[in-house]
């Protein structure tokens, strides 16, 4: 115990969070082995991981850098397609599916990072709500462009078109890899719960360690006061770009996990539109802005909630919406904040235990 | 000739965007919040008219009037219940709440009216105008939309510049705390702004659904987003900016759809937005703001 | 040799000449006061010296190096650090982290080393913490090191801002109304601290202040700015008794 207290606080927090993830992972695996987990729940394990990664990575932009982004699903989309594109085109080429998947993950991260850097450059000139609208626009552009993108592969190499699959002029044995709005079909299902959970732990460690490092401090300084950060010689441009790029790369990885977990990958308003970006933002805000652990918890609860509310049928999303509004008001309304301070759980517990002691 | 026809169609669509964007911009200017649920008020307006006309069978004029009244009340209610408690909270918290309200309206509509697309009968009974020996046709909807949009813009500008309430709005938008000290009722001013914005959304819904008649629970969300883009395009907070942004957006969208690609029309709109903001970071008519050190 | 040489510095906003032909020479180790009535252009002069505004005319030379027109970041790296009239702390970070951000450019390890927690991370972080604690001790803030900076009382926030500026290891320190809002005993203590850091860190100081007791008490030279231009410049005794100066402050 003595040694435990000498480790620095952020390391302790890391160990606790990772420990909890590992325990939950082990419990899930045991339940699966014992046949005690429903198929529905088993199917949710991987999504829980990639939603958590998305929430963590968006928290870097929104919570740590302090810039509002409404286009996070766009980066996920880039990663999903880049990774699936690689896996589909090399399906017969690479012997080991594991190595292939690692490369796909890396490519997804790099592709998304490039777009992140691109948006980062744009963003350097903009602030606040203008930035929000640009990121939203970016997400919509990505989704639209992918829907008119046709790429095929045959003996002569890659063919590319933005018109239709006919225009690819493929040889007879050629295959269409990206088929416009029909997307990519038959991506190998490489994503497993184990890989997804490992990547979640990695993502958590990256952001958590970053926050407590020199670069992370610089990013937070920019968030808290840009002018003061400049006055002590912090390179605003560099660190903003770093945050945007890293955040996008991690969303790209989540995208690769997503695309290798389903059989047909298409870009629709539902999975990559602004509604998705907003859903991730809701995770971040409800989990606590800048709170990485909170992001994971919020992502998990808010993904499971609609599933467990299925018995409500048509009223499900209505209740979700009401819960969202009520939580926001409860969290942020000055009267509610004051009420919570006076009626905090800890005080109630203290008063109860206090009474007990007197009685004893 | 087809170019002119597309151009007119673009201005017409853009006029609808402008009217929605006016609501966005006024609310932003005064409450400093992005009212994501604004687009959904349009959808509600559409369903009100649909219900009153097709299901109850009242005349269009009554339907429109009823829609405007109900949307105005809806706007005031939303502000009172969801946004007012969060006046001092961070803008992100208010944004998420607005998103919650948007989900709420969409899912309520889904529950009441079902998931199937309702077809909206145009209530604009103006005949189409044929010009240049019938080579150029201007639809009745366009003939009503464009002048109406100009009228609204003029009335709104006069109202904000000249009336006492309008001046209060300007004061609240400049500095809420100072406005309170000058004896302005900030809560009332914000409520009036929401009322105006929502009634404009109802007007926009009449025009939009008359020209594009399919109505579902999410019909308002894309026009809402586009109007938001239009407001930012022109410089958010500025009334002429919203007008200009809306019309430019409509023209770009229709021309893009006609000459480049119908699937990429939205992407083109968004790309031009990004480019404009790169050149003018606060929009075309936006004010340049510099933080005082 | 002079630490700071400013020649003919000027800037206009619209039609207003906010600072005009501003000339000042500060020797190494000097403690210089910049005073003047409200709106005289004192903070604008600071903003010009630190690159927040780009001057229309004139040159700024720091320790023999021409720094005119450089960015705020480059000017800080060249050796000028400042505080702000309206306190600008990193409110979401602890007192210690605020100072560590000041150390950012002197203690380096890569982002990757930070994420992977390589030995260089632990080593450099330890050095940074030690150095930051040293500085905090000078300002009597070491007990509050792990407090969120936003939770510090006002007077300590002002001190923390000076500590953070000092952490960038500047040659010249610009203090913008360091005693604003302090009570007489806090001001007294601040005067001692300013004198102390000048000796301990060998830093040259230029400060804007309205508290004449502080200015007369610690400044070796005083520059009076009025309507953006020099009204008087010299030793405190001469300047503060100059009838022009008294007129500018008290009116006719």
Q: How far is A2 from chain B (nearest CA, A)?
A: 41
Q: Is B284 part of a structural domain of the chain?
A: no
Provide, as residue numbers in chain B, all residues whose Cβ is less than 8 Å from the Cβ of A332: 85-86, 89-90, 93
Distance from CA of C192 to the nearest CA of B (A): 27
Please tell me the distance in Å from A17's CA to the nearest CA on chain C: 16
Residue B123 within a domain: no
Residues from chain B that touch C52, judged by Cβ atoms under 8 A, are 293
- A148's CB contacts (< 8 A; 6+ apart) are A162, A163, A180, A181, B261, B263, B264
- Asked if B293 is an interface residue toward chain C (Cβ–Cβ < 8 A), one would say yes
Residue A170 maps to which CATH number? 1.10.3470
- Chain C positions in Cβ-Cβ contact with residue A221 (cut-off 8 Å): 90, 93, 101
Q: Give which of A320, A291, A324 is closest to A308, Cα–Cα.
A: A320
Same domain, A216 and A349: no
- What is the average pLDDT across C41-57? 95
Question: Is pLDDT above 60 for B55?
Answer: yes
Chain A residues touching residue B93 (CB < 8 angstroms): 285, 328, 331-332
Residue B241 counted as domain residue: yes
- Do B274 and A138 make contact, defined as CB atoms within 8 angstroms? yes
C84 touches chain B (CB under 8 A): yes
Which chains contact C through at least 3 pairs of Cβ atoms less than 8 Å apart?
A, B
The answer on pLDDT for C163 being more than 60 is yes
Is A89 inside a domain boundary? Answer: yes
Last residue of some domain: A270, A294, A318? A294
The CATH number linked to B26 is 1.10.3470
Q: Does A147 contact B at CB distance below 8 Å?
A: yes
**How many other C-beta atoms are found inside a 10 Å radius of the C-beta of residue A100?**
18
Asked if the structure places residue A7 within a domain, the reply is: yes
Q: Convert chain C into a string of H (helix), E (strand) and C (coil).
A: CEEEEEEEEEEEECCEEEEEEEEEEEECCCEEEEECCCCCCHHHHHHHHCCCCCCCEEEEEECCEECCCCCHHHHHHHCEEECCCCCCCCCCCEHHHHHHHHCCCCCCCCHHHHHHCCHHHHHHHHHHHHHHHHHHHHCCCHHHCCCEHHHCCHHHHHHHHHHHHHHCCCCEEEEECCCCCCCHHHHHHHHHHHHHHHHHHCCEEEEECCCHHHHHHHCCEEEEEECCEEEEEECHHHHHHCHHHHHHHHCC
Q: Does the residue A304 lie in any domain? A: no
- Please report whether residue B146 resides in a domain: yes
Cβ–Cβ below 8 Å for A233 and C114: no
What share of chain A in percent tops pLDDT 70? 93
ipTM confidence score: 0.93
Touching A: which chains, 3+ CB pairs < 8 A?
A: B, C
Chain B closest CA to C112's CA: distance in Å? 31
Is A168 part of any domain?
yes
Domain boundary pick from A247, A269, A294 = A294
Q: Is residue A303 part of a domain?
A: no
Note whether A267 and A155 are same-domain residues.
yes
What per-residue confidence (pLDDT) applies to A352?
Answer: 67
Q: Supply the pLDDT for residue A357.
A: 45
Residues A202 and A84 in one domain: yes
Question: Same domain for A98 and A211?
Answer: yes
The mean of the pLDDT values for chain A is 88
Do the beta carbons of residue B194 and residue B6 sit within 8 Å? no
Question: How confident is the model over B239-270, as pLDDT tens digits?
Answer: 889 999 999 999 999 999 999 888 888 899 99
Instruction: Show residues of chain A in contact with B249, CB under 8 Å.
Output: none
Question: Total structural domains in chain B?
Answer: 1
Q: Which domain holds residue A318?
A: 309-360
At A185 the three-state DSSP class reads strand
Q: Do C101 and A209 touch (CB under 8 A)?
A: no
CB of A15 within 8 Å of a chain C CB? The answer is: no
Kindly state the tokens that stand for A170. Answer: 């493929």
Mean per-residue pLDDT over chain B, rounded = 89
A90 and A165 belong to one structural domain: yes
Neighbours of A58 (CB within 10 A): 27
Q: Pick the residue with more confidence: B273 or A195?
A: A195
Question: How distant is the Cα of C86 from the closest Cα of chain A, in angstroms?
Answer: 11
Please judge whether A233 and C105 are an interchain contact, meaning their C-beta atoms are less than 8 angstroms apart. Answer: yes
Residue at a domain's end among A294, A326, A341: A294
Any CB–CB contact under 8 A between A278 and chain B?
A: yes
- The whole-number average pLDDT for the span C214-232 is 92
The number of CA neighbours under 13 Å toward the Cβ of B288 is 5
The model's pTM: 0.90
**Is residue C6 within 8 Å of residue C24, measured between CB atoms?**
yes
Q: Does C53 touch chain A (CB under 8 A)?
A: no
Same domain, A10 and A121: yes
CA neighbours within 13 Å on the CB side: how many for A195?
Answer: 16
**Contacts of residue C117 in chain A, CB cutoff 8 Å?**
209
For A189, the token pair is: 């299902």
Check CB contact of C52 with chain B, cutoff 8 Å: yes
The answer to whether B264 contacts A148, with C-beta atoms less than 8 Å apart, is: yes
Question: Measured between beta carbons, which residues in chain B are less than 8 angstroms from residue C43?
Answer: 293
pLDDT at residue C195 tops 80: yes
Shared-domain flag, residues A141 and A192: yes
Do residues A267 and A351 share a domain? no
Which secondary structure element, helix H or strand E, spans residue A161, and what is its range?
Answer: strand A157-161
- Closest CA–CA distance from residue B146 to any residue of chain A (Å): 27
Cα distances (angstroms) measured from residue A94 to each of A81, A88, A89, A98: 19, 11, 10, 9
Count of other CB atoms within 10 angstroms of residue C80 = 30
Q: Does A33 touch chain B (CB under 8 A)?
A: no
Mind listing the pLDDT tens digit for each residue in B71-87? 999 999 999 999 999 98
Same domain, A11 and A78: yes
Q: Is residue B270 part of a domain?
A: yes
- DSSP secondary structure of A283-311: HHHHH-TT-HHHHHHHHHHHHHHHHHTGG
Residue A17 domain flag: yes
CB of B25 within 8 A of CB of B241?
A: yes
Indicate whether A255 and A329 sit together in one domain.
no
Tell whether B122 is covered by a domain.
no
Put simply, the chain A residues between 285 and 314 with a CB less than 8 A from any chain C CB are 290
**By residue range, what is the domain housing residue B194?**
2-114+135-279
Chain A environment of C105 (Cβ under 8 Å): 233
Q: Would A300 be classed as within a structural domain? A: no
pLDDT-derived band at A358 (thresholds 50, 70, 90) equals: very low
CA distance A212 to chain C (A): 8
* Interface check A218 vs C, CB under 8 A: yes
Residues A224 and A352 in one domain: no
Task: Compute the nearest-CA separation of A24 from chain C (Å).
Answer: 24
In a domain? residue A201: yes
Handedness of CA B79, B83, B87, B90 (dihedral sign): negative
Residue B285: inside a domain, yes or no?
A: no
Give A268's DSSP letter: -
How many domains is chain A built from? 2
What's the confidence (pLDDT) of residue A202? 97
Task: Please check whether residue B287 lies inside any domain of the structure.
Answer: no
CA angle centred on A87, ends A82 and A89, rounded to 5°: 95
């Amino acid at each position: 115990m003595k040694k435990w207290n000498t480790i620095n606080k952020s390391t302790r927090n890391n160990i606790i969070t990772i420990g909890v993830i590992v325990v939950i992972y082990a419990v899930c695996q045991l339940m699966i082995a014992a046949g005690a987990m429903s198929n529905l729940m088993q199917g949710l394990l991987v999504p829980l991981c990639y939603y958590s990664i998305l929430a963590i990575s968006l928290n870097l932009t929104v919570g740590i850098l302090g810039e509002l982004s409404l286009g996070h699903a766009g980066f996920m989309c880039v990663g999903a397609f880049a990774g699936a594109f690689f896996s589909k085109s090399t399906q017969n080429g690479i012997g080991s599916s594991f190595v292939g998947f690692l490369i796909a993950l890396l490519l997804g991260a790099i592709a998304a990072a490039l777009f992140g850097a691109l948006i980062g450059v744009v963003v350097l000139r903009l602030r606040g709500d203008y930035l929000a609208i640009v990121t939203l626009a970016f997400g919509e552009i990505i989704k639209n462009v992918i829907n008119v993108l046709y790429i095929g592969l045959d003996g002569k190499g890659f063919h590319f078109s933005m018109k239709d699959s006919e225009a690819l002029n493929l040889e007879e044995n050629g295959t269409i890899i990206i088929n416009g709005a029909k997307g990519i079909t038959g991506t190998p299902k490489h994503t497993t719960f184990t890989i997804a959970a490992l990547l979640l732990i990695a993502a958590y460690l990256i952001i958590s360690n970053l926050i407590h490092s020199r670069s992370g401090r610089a990013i937070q300084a920019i968030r808290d006061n840009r002018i003061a950060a400049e006055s002590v010689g912090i390179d605003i441009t560099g660190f903003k770009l770093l945050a945007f790029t890293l955040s996008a790369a991690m969303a790209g990885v989540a995208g690769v996990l997503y695309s290798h977990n389903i059989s047909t990958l298409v870009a629709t308003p539902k999975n990559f539109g602004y509604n998705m970006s907003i859903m991730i933002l809701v995770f971040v805000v409800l989990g606590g802005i800048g709170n990485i652990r909170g992001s994971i918890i919020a992502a998990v609860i808010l993904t499971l909630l609609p599933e467990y509310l299925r018995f409500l049928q048509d009223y499900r999303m209505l209740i979700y919406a009401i819960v969202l509004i009520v939580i926001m008001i409860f969290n942020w309304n000055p009267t509610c904040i004051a009420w919570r301070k006076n009626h905090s759980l800890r005080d109630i517990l203290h008063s109860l235990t206090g009474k007990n002691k007197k009685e004893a | 000739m087809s170019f002119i026809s597309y151009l007119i169609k673009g201005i017409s669509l853009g006029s609808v965007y402008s009217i929605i964007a006016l609501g966005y911009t006024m609310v932003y200017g005064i409450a400093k919040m992005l009212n994501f649920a604004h687009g959904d008020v349009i959808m509600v307006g559409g369903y009100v008219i649909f219900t009153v006309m097709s299901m109850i069978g009242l005349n269009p004029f009554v339907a429109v009037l009823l829609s405007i009244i109900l949307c105005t009340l809806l706007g005031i209610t939303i502000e009172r219940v969801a946004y007012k408690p969060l006046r001092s909270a961070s803008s992100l918290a208010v944004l998420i709440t607005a998103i919650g309200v948007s989900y709420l309206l969409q899912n309520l509509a889904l529950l009441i009216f079902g998931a199937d697309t309702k077809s909206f009968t145009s209530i604009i009974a103006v005949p189409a105008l044929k010009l240049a020996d019938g080579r150029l046709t201007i639809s009745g909807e366009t003939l009503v939309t464009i002048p109406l949009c100009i009228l609204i813009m003029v009335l709104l500008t006069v109202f904000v510049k000249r009336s006492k309430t309008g001046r209060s709005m300007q004061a609240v938008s400049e500095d809420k705390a100072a406005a309170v000290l000058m004896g302005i009722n900030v809560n009332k001013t914000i409520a009036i702004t929401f009322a105006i914005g929502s009634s404009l959304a109802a007007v926009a819904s009449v025009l939009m659904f008359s020209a594009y008649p399919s109505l579902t629970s999410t019909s308002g969300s894309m026009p809402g987003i586009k109007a938001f883009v239009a407001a930012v395009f022109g410089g958010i907070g500025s009334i002429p900016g919203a007008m200009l942004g809306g019309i430019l957006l409509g023209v770009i969208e229709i021309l893009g759809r006609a000459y480049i690609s119908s699937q990429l029309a939205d992407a083109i709109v968004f790309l031009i937005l990004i480019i404009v903001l790169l050149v003018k970071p606060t929009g075309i008519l936006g004010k340049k703001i510099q933080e005082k050190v | 040799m002079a630490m700071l040489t400013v020649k003919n510095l000027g800037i206009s906003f619209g039609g207003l000449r906010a600072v005009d032909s501003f000339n000042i020479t500060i020797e190494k180790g000097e403690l210089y006061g910049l005073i003047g009535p409200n709106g005289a252009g004192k903070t604008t002069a600071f903003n010009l010296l630190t690159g927040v505004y780009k001057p229309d005319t004139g040159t700024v030379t720091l320790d023999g190096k021409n720094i005119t027109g450089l960015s705020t970041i480059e000017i800080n790296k060249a050796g000028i650090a400042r505080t702000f009239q309206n306190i600008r702390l990193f409110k979401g970070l602890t007192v210690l982290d605020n100072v560590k951000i000041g150390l950012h450019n002197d203690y380096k390890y890569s982002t990757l080393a930070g994420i992977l927690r390589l030995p260089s991370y632990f080593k450099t972080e330890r050095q940074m913490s030690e150095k930051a604690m040293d500085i905090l001790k000078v300002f009597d803030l070491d007990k509050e090191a792990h407090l969120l900076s936003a939770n510090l009382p006002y007077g300590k926030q002002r001190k923390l801002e000076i500590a953070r500026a000092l952490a960038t290891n500047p040659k010249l320190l610009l203090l913008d109304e360091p005693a604003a809002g302090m009570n007489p005993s806090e001001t007294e203590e601040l005067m001692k601290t300013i004198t102390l850091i000048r000796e301990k860190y060998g830093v040259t100081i230029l400060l804007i202040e309205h508290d004449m007791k502080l200015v007369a008490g610690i400044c070796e030279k005083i520059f009076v700015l009025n309507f953006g231009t020099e009204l008087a410049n010299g030793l405190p005794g001469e300047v503060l008794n100059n009838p022009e100066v008294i007129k500018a402050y008290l009116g006719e």
